Amino acid sequence: MTGGTSTAGVRGHPNRVGVVSLWHETNTYSARTTSLEAFEQFELLQGGAIVEQHAGTGTVIGGMLDEAAFEHVPLLAAGAWPGGTVEQAALDELFARLESELLAAGALQGVLVNFHGAMVAESCDDVEHEAMRLIRQRVGDIPVAAVLDLHGNPSAAMVDLCDAVIAYQTYPHVDMRERGREAAALMAGMLDGRRLKSVVAKLDLLSCPLAQCTDEAPMSDLQALAAELERRRGVRISLLPGFPYSDVARAGFSVVVTGAPDRVKEASEVAESVLGAVSERAHEFELQRSDARTAVARAIASPRHPVILVDVADNIGGGGPGDGTAILEQLIAQGADSAIVTIADADVARAALRLGPGAVFEGEVGGKADSLHGAPVAVAGRIMQVAEVQYRTQGSWMTGHSFSLGATALIRVDGVTVVVMEHAVPPFHPEQLPAAGVDPSAAAIIVVKGAVAWRAAYGHLAREVIEVDTPGICPVDPQTLPRLADTGALGTQGVP
C-alpha cells in the first residue's frame, strides 16, 4: 500500500460529511488502564489537523479522504495503542470533544466513522454503541457508514445505528486505506439516494488471533464463501472473528451483512448461512503450541535463520504489556546466540540512557507490569547503543505515520541482544528494529511480541516460524481466561 495525494473532498460542496475516528482495542484482562495521555501520545486530533495527519496515508481516514464526491468535515480522530480498560475520565473527555465538534460543524449530510469495534471503558462495555448514540443525537437520521477492525466485537445496538458497516478483510491488516475508500464510496452512493441497512449475526466462538490469519484456512475459505455469496446475493459481507481478550457479552465471531433496507430478511438469512459455515469449522480455530523452553530449544537447533519466535500471549498489538520474560529467560538459560528480543521496560530504558553506550547495565528487566507474563530477569550486559528512537513507516500498517519507542537501549547479554523500549510498540513495521540500531536480517533468532500482524514487517525474512504458548493476557487458548460475561447463543441481531 502506498501513499498518494488526497483530494480531501470538495470545499463548498452541498454535501458535507463528518469524519470521526474512535479507535481502541481493549484487553480487559490488562492490569494497566488506558488514560487520556495514551490517546494524546498516539492520536488525539480535531478539525483540520486530522486532514494534515492522514491525507495521503495508508489509514482508514486516509482512504476516506481520497473520495472527492463530497466535502469532508473532520471532527475527531482519537486512538491509542491496544491496552487495558479505558479510564472513564478519558472517555468523558473524548465524548465531550466529539460532541463539541458535532455542534460546531453545522448541518451535515452524512458521517463517516472509523471504529475498532472492541473498545471498553470503566463504566461502559460498548463504547462504539455509546459513540453512535451521541452522533445520532446530534445529526439525526442521515447516512452513516462505519469501518471496523476485523477484530471488532460489534453489538446489534451499534450496528443498528449505522446504515453501512464494513470491516477490514485482511489480517495482517493491509487494506485499511481500501476500506476507508470503500466506506466513502458507499457514502457517496447513499448521498445519491441509495439507502443501506446492516445486520449482524454472532457466534459464541472465542479464537486466538493465530487462527484468524486471512491468508490461511479456515479464514481464507470462509472469506471465499462470503465473496461468492456477495456476488450471488448482491450484498456486502464482513467477517469479524473478533477480539477474544475482551470480557464482554458482545465478544465472539460476527458476520455483518450490508444491503438494501427492503431486503433485511434476505441479509439476515445470508448472515446466518455464513455463520453456519463458521460453526461447522469452529474446531479449526482451536490451537496448541509449544512452551517457551521447547520452542527456544527448537529455534537454537534450527539451521534456518532467522527463526521467528512468536511471543503470543504478550502480544502488544492485543494489549499485552510487552514486558513478558518467558522467552528471554530461556534464550539466556539455553545459551542462544545472535538472538534479538524486545522488552518494554521504561525504567531500564531510561537508566540505560543515563549510563550511556559502553557502560554495563546490571539489574532486572521486564516482568513488571503484572504477575502474568513471567518474573523479572536479572541481567548483566553491555549497553551497545542507546537513544531516543522514532520512525516513520512505509510499511503496510498505517503507512506514513510516525511512531516513537522513546528511550531505547541495546543491551548485549552473552549472545542475546535485548532491545529495551520505553514505550511498548507492536512489531508491525519493518522500520522498527533498524531504527533502534538492529539489522534483523543478520539475526539467527528474532522474538516478536505479536500474533499475526508481525508478518507484514518480518514475514519476508522468516526462514522458520515458531509460535510459542507463553503466559500472559493474550493466550493461545482464550478459554483459559476467566469469563465474567455471559455470551450465550447470540444469533442474528440488528433486524429492525
Indicate if the pLDDT at residue 488 is higher than 50.
no
Residue 269 CB contacts under 8 Å (≥ 6 apart), including other chains: none
Let me know if residue 222 belongs to a domain: yes
Let me know if residue 11 belongs to a domain: no
Indicate if the pLDDT at residue 113 is higher than 60.
yes
Let me know if residue 496 belongs to a domain: no
Q: Are residues 134 and 259 in the same domain?
A: yes
Domain boundary among 264, 285, 306: 285
pLDDT value of residue 492: 37
pLDDT value of residue 485: 63
Q: Are residues 171 and 200 in the same domain?
A: yes
Domain boundary among 216, 251, 285: 285
User: Which is more confident, 490 or 184?
Assistant: 184
Mean pLDDT over residues 35-57, rounded? 96
Let me know if residue 187 belongs to a domain: yes
Let me know if residue 8 belongs to a domain: no
The percentage of residues in the chain with a pLDDT greater than 70, rounded to a whole number, is 95
Q: Are residues 41 and 120 in the same domain?
A: yes
pLDDT value of residue 12: 77
Mean pLDDT over residues 364-393, rounded? 96
Let me know if residue 259 belongs to a domain: yes
Comparing CA positions, the residue from 158, 153, 82, 86 lying closest to residue 123 is 86
Mean pLDDT over residues 322-350, rounded? 98
pLDDT value of residue 8: 58
Q: Are residues 65 and 194 in the same domain?
A: yes
Its pTM surpasses 0.75: yes
Q: Are residues 33 and 105 in the same domain?
A: yes
Q: Are residues 315 and 398 in the same domain?
A: yes
Q: Are residues 205 and 344 in the same domain?
A: no
Please provide the average confidence, as pLDDT, over all residues in the chain.
94
Q: Are residues 317 and 410 in the same domain?
A: yes
pLDDT tens-digit map of 250-271: 999 999 999 999 999 999 999 9
Let me know if residue 232 belongs to a domain: yes
Domain boundary among 241, 256, 285: 285
pLDDT value of residue 484: 75
pLDDT tens-digit map of 6-33: 345 667 789 999 999 999 999 999 999 9
pLDDT tens-digit map of 60-82: 999 999 999 999 999 999 999 99
Range of the domain at 384: 292-478
Q: Are residues 36 and 94 in the same domain?
A: yes
Q: Are residues 185 and 309 in the same domain?
A: no
Q: Are residues 309 and 281 in the same domain?
A: no
Q: Are residues 279 and 296 in the same domain?
A: no
pLDDT-derived band at 491, boundaries 50, 70, 90: very low
Indicate if the pLDDT at residue 223 is higher than 80.
yes
Domain count across the chain = 2
Let me know if residue 483 belongs to a domain: no
